[in-house]
Amino acid sequence: MARRLLPPVTFAFFTLLGGLAPAETLTHWAGTPAGNSTEDGPSASARFHYPIVAIPDGKGGYLVADWYGHAIRHVSSTGTVSTWAGSMDVPGSQDGPRQTARFRQPTGLAFDSRGNLFVLDGGNHTIRKITPDGTVSTFAGLAGVPGSLDGKGSTARFNTPNRGLVIDGQGTIYLSDTLNHTIRKITPEGDVSTLAGSAGQKGSTDGTGSAARLIFPRGLSFDGQGNLLLADTGNFTIRRVTLAGVVTTLAGKAGESGCVDGPAATARFMSPRNGVTDSSGNILVADMTCNAIRRIAPDGSVSTIAGAPGGPGTQDGTGSAARFDFPSHIAPDGAGAFLVPDSANGLLRRVTEAGAVTTIAGPNTAGSTDGTDLAIKMWHPQQVSFDPQGNLLVVDSYNCTIRQISPQAVSTTIAGTAGSCGFSGEPGNAGKLAHPIGVAADAAGNIYSADWGDSTVRKRTPAGVLSTLAGRSGQPGHADGTGGNARLAPSNLAVDGVGNVYVTEADNKTIRKITPAGVVTTLAGSAGQRGSVDGTGAAARFDHPVGIAVDRQ
């Protein structure tokens, strides 16, 4: 099972152990307003919602696909950020002048030789075109209608194309059709065909055309010989695709994820988003969940040139001194360095070939400070719930901690270490969390966390002892069993009155049950089978279940 590409969006469910919440009035209670937003303005005050791809505009500035903002942003040569096309936080599919056009989760940008900008409008399942005079049209696909059909213009169908978009000198477009697990080709006349892979068929097979198999392909770029470099994210590999559709694997091993440097045969990637060539023929890879920029030398050996696996951060610096939080793309900046949208930080970063990292635009004012009320700082807090004493439990996800906030709004870190994330299975890391995204407490005061980054459910006793209740560190999957023999991909959780833990699994599309003894069973749904069918047990179907809560019964 491939590790999730992004943690699922979580909703704040109050796990009610004894009834309704004590009050229904919502106020700004704790923490300093911060994080990703969508403000235009100078670089020091501008905000991005979730920058996912950046390219040079040819005039000393940059265009940025702001995924959650549903718009194309512009960063001028002086660092001023503006909304260039679409309207911030207003999704849609309207064509027309770029200022009134609407997009839905744009995920890719590329210019052709005539100055037209093409946009992967992922949430609309379309390819959009913006002419030099600013007119937006739908070039291929039909808004809101996913599919895998080849054909011309609006008769073709795509399924959530993501990040992979390049255009050759003749105007031919190549793109990653991510949820179809294929690479598609579009002629300048708008004729769409499938270059590699077979729609709906996952795998890691090298081969030609429909005989090849991919899993969640994303970033594309041209190498020095005119072939395509592909980040085959679900396989954890970097692959080469010729323009005749011949697919070969360059680095990484299908089915084995990690942040391991070394020779080609032993190197591992965690979530490669795309790769580009540098001036020496190396391939630089944005490895998102490793929080690092990796380099593949011509001999296939892999090294890390910027960032470091583990805890996220915002530090500028060189090599391992720099920190990222979900670097989602890398592209030449036209001046000998590379642009990296640091997505979860809401930053646009520049990385040199030597691995020196600087921030171009977008501040980040998150933190990990305990304290009282507005002095508290968090970093991407996600699920919340109450413990039996009425304290609020908060998953401080990017700090890799669980915070406890008293009724008097006093915060204490009770599990994990801020800025020091770790896999529970690694020596010395038993007390660390990798990337928690769900939390709930039982009636005895034990606190359970869904540690997405570790593929486990962790348990903290009232005495503060942290252990793994179920799952195997760093090994996502779906297998029932006891304790470490089970395999999980946890998204969120809730606890009933007798201490059973119920876990949603967005990727597995199931609801799991874990007894107090750590016995894991599948309560509802069938692994990998998406749908909306009501029914009992394995007959039911879900599609990306996330939030869960337990009622009084």
Residue 118 pairs in a beta bridge with: 110, 129
First to last CA, the chain: 34
Residue 123 phi, psi (nearest 5) = -70, -20
- What pLDDT was estimated at residue 44? 67
List the chain pLDDT tens, one digit each, 553 residues. 233 334 444 333 333 333 323 233 333 334 433 444 457 777 767 777 778 888 888 888 889 999 888 999 998 888 888 999 999 888 999 999 999 999 999 999 999 999 999 999 999 999 999 999 999 999 999 999 999 999 999 999 999 998 889 999 999 999 999 999 999 999 999 999 999 999 999 999 999 999 999 999 998 988 888 899 999 989 999 899 999 999 999 889 898 888 999 998 899 998 898 888 888 889 999 998 899 999 999 988 999 999 988 667 888 999 999 999 889 888 888 788 998 888 877 788 899 999 999 988 766 556 677 778 767 778 778 788 889 998 889 998 878 899 998 888 888 999 988 867 777 877 777 888 988 989 999 999 999 999 988 899 999 999 999 999 999 987 888 999 999 999 999 999 999 999 999 999 988 999 999 999 999 999 999 998 888 999 999 999 998 898 898 887 8
Rg (CA), the chain: 23
What is the model's pLDDT at position 53? Answer: 86
The token pair at 348 is: 């646009």
Using CA atoms, how far residue 101 sits from 95, 105, 342, in Å, is 5, 13, 26
Please tell me the predicted confidence (pLDDT) of residue 366: 61
How far apart CA 128 and CA 144 sit, in angstroms, is: 13
**Cα–Cα distance between 295 and 280 in angstroms, integer?**
11
How far apart CA 415 and CA 109 sit, in angstroms, is 41
One DSSP character per residue, 524-547 reads ES-TT-B-----SGGG--BSS---
- Whole-number pLDDT of residue 201: 93
Confidence (pLDDT) at 184: 97
- Residues 6 or more apart whose Cβ sits within 8 Å of residue 260: 266, 267, 268, 302
Strand boundaries in 484-527, DSSP class E:
492-495, 501-505, 510-514, 519-524
The predicted structure's pLDDT at residue 47: 78
Q: Spell out where 205-355 has E strands.
A: 207-208, 217-222, 228-232, 237-241, 246-251, 272-277, 283-287, 292-296, 302-307, 317-318, 331-332, 338-342, 347-351
Residues 6+ away with beta carbon under 8 Å from 330: 273, 274, 275, 276, 284, 285, 286, 293, 338, 339, 340, 351
Closest CA to 397 of 65, 103, 9: 9
Tell me how far apart the alpha carbons of residues 454 and 475 are, in angstroms, rounded to a whole number: 8
Can you give the pLDDT at residue 361? 77
- Encode 426-438 in three state secondary structure: CCCCCCCCCCEEE
- Give me the pLDDT at residue 333, please: 83
Q: Cα 362 vs. chain centroid, distance in angstroms? A: 19
141 Rama sector, left if φ>0, alpha if ψ -120 to 50, beta otherwise = left
